[in-house]
Amino acid sequence: MAMQDMFKDLKKDKTLYTIVILLVIILVVVIVYKIYQAVTDSANVLGDQIGQQIIQKQTGISVARQNVCKQIASDCAGAVSFWPFTKVIFHTSDEDLINALNRITSDDEASLTSLYFRQTVGISLKSVIDSYHFMQSTDRITYYGGLN
């Protein structure tokens, strides 16, 4: 009986009633969004796993080495600085690029790393290496020929 009295009192005060209704709506929206986010994240993980299996069949690069290629591409992206809001190179850390790229063990891995770099940064890895910002000799990069 006390619960019904509370709701009757709540309906009498229109401002409080409106606030409670808005809070309930916000709570429902947040719950639905969290469920959507969880489903989307799991679908992305599943899609990545399927994609890695396809790449493994096409190139022969194991899933573990694909993850290494992603990390190398990320390291290379971190070694390149761009002018804000542009794709114009400001600075490259040559040693960081060389150290990252020398973890590649084949031309196929070099090509895959280039693809991951292009997806992350928006320009090709070879164009970064061939730019005037990179001062070292490309001879120091083991699989330079596989980059694209």
Domain spans, the chain: 2-45, 60-146
CA distance 63 to 94: 28
pLDDT at 69 over 90: yes
State the pLDDT confidence band at 89, using cuts at 50, 70 and 90.
Answer: confident
Residues 97-138: tens digit of each pLDDT = 999 999 999 999 999 999 999 999 999 898 888 888 788 888
Give the Cα separation of 96 and 81 in Å (integer): 12
Q: Evaluate whether 97 touches 134 at the Cβ level (below 8 Å).
A: yes
